[in-house]
Amino acid sequence: MTAPGWPARLACGAVEVRPLRARDAGAWSEVRIRNQAWLSPWEGRSPALPPASWRDRHSTAVFAAMLRATRKEARAGRVLPFGLLVDGRLSGQVTVSSIVRGAFDCGYVGYWVDERVAGRGVLPTALALVLDHCFGPVGLHRVEANVRPENTASRRVVEKLGFREEGLHTRYLFIDEQWRDHVSFALLREDVPEGVLRGYLAERLGG
């Protein structure tokens, strides 16, 4: 089975996104464990699973299982699981998931970066690359992002890329042992006829 637009490698300067590989396991485990305090306020987990420590949830064995599962989903066209590299070093992820085709043609984006590279426009650049790919070869019409109201950094990212705020999802995701509200943002293909990356870079140079 092949999925439109997958696999893909996309790059802009020092920022690159590409499919995660088995040999990323050590780097993924190291960066995720080191960033526990930075990432844990924003990441959900299933309340049905027994609580596990952050370290246990980020072992190389967990990475291998995640990779197996997401590769299968990617081949079926339901997810685009990109690793994010800065100067060749694994520094984050951008994942478009729950892709539904037909009359909806929509996916939901999630992302994170290593705190060491934060504040340099790495994630907006990577997300702009992925969005242009979604609206181009993948053929999506709509991409949604859901963000906790207090996550100012993530809200800035979607604002910079032109997402529209659409509403509030009450008690939407189970994060840090509570169901947390999320603000819903969306971007449509026709919102960005010139391309997301092009608009972002023009804004950066202009601003």
Pairing outcome for strands 89-100 and 178-188: unpaired
112 part of the interface to ligand COA, by CB under 6 A: yes
153 part of the interface to ligand COA, by CB under 6 A: yes
163 part of the interface to ligand COA, by CB under 6 A: no
User: Shortest gap between Cβ of 75 and ligand COA (angstroms)?
Assistant: 26
Q: Identify which of residues 3 and 121 has a Cβ nearer to ligand COA in the complex.
A: 121
Strand ranges, E, within the chain:
10-12, 15-19, 80-86, 89-100, 106-113, 142-147, 164-175, 178-188
156 part of the interface to ligand COA, by CB under 6 A: yes
Q: Identify which of residues 72 and 156 has a Cβ nearer to ligand COA in the complex.
A: 156
Note whether 126 and 15 are within 8 A (CB).
yes
- Opening angle at CA 201, ends 78 and 191, nearest 5: 50
Q: What's the start-to-end Cα distance of the chain, in Å?
A: 44
Scanning 21-29, 59-67, 117-125, 169-177 for contacts with ligand COA by CB under 6 A, the matching segment is 117-125
User: Shortest gap between Cβ of 23 and ligand COA (angstroms)?
Assistant: 23
In whole angstroms, what is the distance from residue 99 CA to residue 85 CA?
23
95 part of the interface to ligand COA, by CB under 6 A: no
Break the chain down into helix, strand, coil percent, rounded to 5.
40, 30, 30
Q: Identify which of residues 77 and 106 has a Cβ nearer to ligand COA in the complex.
A: 106
193 part of the interface to ligand COA, by CB under 6 A: no
Within 25-44, the residues that bind ligand COA by CB under 6 A are 38-39, 42
118 part of the interface to ligand COA, by CB under 6 A: yes
Q: Identify which of residues 77 and 90 has a Cβ nearer to ligand COA in the complex.
A: 90
93 part of the interface to ligand COA, by CB under 6 A: no
Return the DSSP state at 78.
S
121 part of the interface to ligand COA, by CB under 6 A: yes
Tokens representing residue 84 in the block: 């994010």
For residue 191, the tally of other CB atoms under 10 A from its CB is: 15
Q: Which positions lie near ligand COA, rule CB under 6 A?
A: 38-39, 42, 111-113, 118-124, 147, 151-154, 156-157
